[in-house]
Structure 1
Amino acid sequence: MSCNRDQVVPAAPSAVTQTNQELATVAKALARTLGTEAAYRQLLKAEALKQFDGDYDVLYRAFTDLQPTFGQRMDELVAQSPTGQALTGMADVLAHVPNLNISVPVNINKWSADTYSPLVLFIPADFDEKTYTKPLQAYDKDGQVHLLDAKKAPDYPVVVIGPSERVKGTALTSEYFGPGKGQNQGKEANGVPGGKGTNKLLPPDDGGGGAPYMPPPPIGQPYTTCRTDNQTEYLRSLWMKDVSEYEAWILGQPEIHLIIMSPIGGASGSTLLDAMYTMSRGAIEDTWYCNTGLYYWDKSTVSNSVGYLWYEQDEGDSSIDVKLTIGYKSDKGLNASTEVTFKIKNKDDVISTSPMNFDFCPSEKYYTGGTAGSRAFRWTLENRP
């Protein structure tokens, strides 16, 4: 006499689990490949230093085009890996992550590529610097696991793989980032060009400090009467206490986004500026200096108050609304208010939202956002012809 039992079929892995398994396989293969071939290490460092997208990034597809034997070796190792995933090669991984990126986010200037084999880690598919607290798994050339802190950058070079933040889909170039594409990717508004900041390459950044892009600007006039009507508002500098609060070290440089809205010009206000600023991690913690026009402040068309939203761009798969009520004087001199809506993505990190009054000029000579402690954020403005 025998008994029949229902056969239990294991559940298929979730999309996040499957992607993480695939990326772990790639990280192990890359660590082994870089660990055995100095020529690949040297080429990867050289390509990363070109900063094709403004950061120390190299697209996997572009790298294999440069060095086909590298791609062949990766295919072999991925196909041989006993990960539980039926991977025949890198094509299977690229089908899920077409913009697979290889980066050296910190300490690239410390990398002696001819002798040093770096650890390689992958960005988990469920990674969010606001909530992710688990250690990150990095692999050495022998496949051994090393646990790294997700918040604190190591003091040695590490190679990171994962989806590119700056290149979408199967493209080989970035639409908004890279040499010649500038630091401020703003739209023209009220006759003031959104402009482009310096397009110089960044100096090597250890992640813990570094020289700013430009020398400090002149102090200028005191802030007691800091604005005159019908002049242009300029952004002069940005500072963060700890950039890792908004952009984890494994993601490289921050992408600081600024949207400025007027409470008039429509039922829910109008956009004066939508701009992006990029800089090294060390630069913004030291103070990143710039000199870029924001908008022309004519109180008759802009009002005497505007709304600022600063956020670090991480994109996401859905949109969210950030609302701000701006109080102002109407064209008849009456008190009025408008609730404006800023639209961002669900993974973007809000740094600061605040109204900006024409007559408000802080005694500290800088404006503050974020919260106290490690999330502190400051910026300086200048109003001039």
Structure 2
Amino acid sequence: MRLEYKSFDYDEINQNLEKVAFSLAAQMNDPEIRKIIKDEALKQFDGDYDILYNHLKNIKTKDGKSIGEKLMLKNKNIHAQATKIPKFQLSVPINCESWDTENHIPLVVIIPQGKSDKEISRLKAIDYKGNIHFLDAKKVPNEPVVVLNESERTDENGNLLENLVLSTNRNLSNGRLENSAEYLGRIYAPNPSALEAWWDSNLEMRLVVSVRPNGGTPTSVIDAIYNASRTCISEQHSNGQHGCYFGNFLFTWLPSYGQTITYTWIEYDGGGLDTLTFSVSYAPPNSGITSTISRTINRSTWDEHANQSTVWRGEASNTEYGGGSIFSFRIFF
């Protein structure tokens, strides 16, 4: 068996984040760049107000120069610094839609890497003049800010995570048939900040649905990450229900699954950057064939456990699970 440990120098990452932050903040005085950042964030390529740095730096401005070229005018090493920040992104997590880019010059906020949300009490922010400010990490800013952080929704190559679900939030009927499909209904969290820090904007709610076919070994039939807006999961509807309607097909409850299924909800934070890769090789005697199995796992996780509930086959459609104090959900049949 071969073990390979991949770790990150968080001191170096955070030093580079700060260098890039000063360079980017200096460009916030340019209303054209502010508008480009807002427009790109509003595209929500990953379901949230995020922009990968490798995408932003190549966007051309009216004078023909790219944003990356303009950043290099004051910091010739900025691209080398950015490459040392894994999954580097910018985001506008608060009030992006209402940002008046002509008049409001945002602070550039640095999210320190190598720490969980719970460990961070204040955040360093840079204004366009190079002045340093400190923000309360637990208090949501009143005005838009530009946040520098690690992407939670893409892999190291900038591709969206394969199990990320960008939901349509369509409504469903409450009809139920024997062995019919199950759908994710509403999800609700009255205080989103209990699960996800404000600077990460929308929540990445990972759902793992486990069954025991014929009473045997537990098996996951769903392992997906759902994009949940902070606004919709905390809102109260006039009909007495609350939260986002997702309406996504989950699975068909087969007779072999038995009478109960377990739903586990986790607010996914990426699990940190450090990884442990292991591989096992096996060669049957005299076969001349070697088989190798490799797997990479996160060494530590900062994910927040939101809820685990047992769903019984005989329960009614639109039953609510979780109690709602932190997180609850509904399932339709």
Aligned residues: 292
- In structure 1, the residue matched to 2:185 is 236
Alignment of 1:286-297 (within 5 A): 286=235, 287-297=243-253
In the alignment, what sits opposite 1:136?
123
> In the alignment, which residue of structure 1 is the partner of 2:234?
285
Q: Per-residue deviation at 1:105?
A: 0.8
Distance of 1:318 and 1:91 partners within structure 2: 25
Alignment identity in percent? 29
Cα RMSD after superposing both structures: 2.7
Match of residue 69 from structure 2: 72
Q: Distance in 2 between matches of 1:217 and 1:267?
A: 33
The residue identity in structure 2 corresponding to 1:70 is I
**Dislocated runs of 4+, deviation >6 Å:** none
| Contact in 1 for aligned 2:211/2:262 (Cα 8 Å) | yes
Matched residue type, 1:138: A
What TM-score results when the alignment is normalised by the length of structure 1? 0.69
Corresponding residue number in structure 2 for 1:115: 103
Task: State the alpha-carbon separation in 1 of the partners of residues 190 and 16 from structure 2.
Answer: 35
Q: What is the correspondence of 1:309-320 to structure 2 with a 5 Å cutoff?
A: 309-316=264-271, 317-318=274-275
Aligned equivalents of 1:305 and 1:228: distance in 2?
17
Question: Retained in 2: the 8 A contact 1:352–1:369?
Answer: no
Quote the residue 1:357 is aligned against.
Answer: 312
Query: Which of 274, 278, 303 is the aligned partner of 2:223?
Result: 274
- 2:284 maps to which residue? none
Q: CA deviation at 1:151?
A: 2.5
Residue number among 8, 22, 26 corresponding to 2:16 in the alignment:
22
Q: Distance in 1 between matches of 2:216 and 2:68?
A: 55
Unaligned residue ranges in structure 1 (runs of 5+) = 1-13, 80-88, 184-196, 199-212, 222-226, 320-342
Is residue 106–residue 144 contact of structure 2 (8 Å, CA) maintained in 1?
yes
Once residues 169 and 228 of structure 1 are traced to their aligned partners in structure 2, the CA distance between those partners, rounded to angstroms, is: 43
For residues 76 and 265 of structure 1, the distance between their equivalents in structure 2, rounded to whole angstroms, comes to 66
Q: In structure 2, how many angstroms separate the alpha carbons of the residues matched to 1:318 and 1:307?
A: 28
Q: Which amino acid aligns with 2:52?
A: L
TM-score by length of 2: 0.79
How many Å separate the matches in 1 of 2:192 and 2:204?
11
2:35 paired residue number:
42
* Equivalent in the alignment of 2:197: 248
Contact 1:217-1:236 at 8 Å conserved across structures: yes
Contact 1:351–1:369 (CA<8 Å) still a contact in 2?
no
How far apart in 1 are the matches of 2:181 and 2:157? 40
Give the alignment of 1:48-127 within 5 angstroms. 48-67=41-60, 68-78=65-75, 89-127=77-115
Task: Write out per-residue CA displacement over residues 328-354 of structure 1, whole angstroms, 9 at most, x where no aligned residue.
Answer: xxxxxxxxxxxxxxx987222211123
List per-residue Cα deviations over 1:55-112 (Å, max 9, x = no partner): 1111112112113442133234335xxxxxxxxx123323312532111011012211
Q: How does 1:220-231 map to 2 (within 5 A)?
A: 220=174, 229-231=178-180
Q: Contact 1:120–1:161 (CA<8 Å) still a contact in 2? A: yes
- Report which of the two structures shows the higher radius of gyration computed on alpha carbons: 1
Kindly indicate whether residue 301 of structure 2 is the aligned counterpart of residue 382 of structure 1: no
Q: Which amino acid aligns with 1:124?
A: P
Distance 1:230 1:301 in 2: 11
Q: Which residue in 2 is equivalent to 1:366?
A: 320
Cα distance in structure 2, aligned partners of 1:25 and 1:350: 34
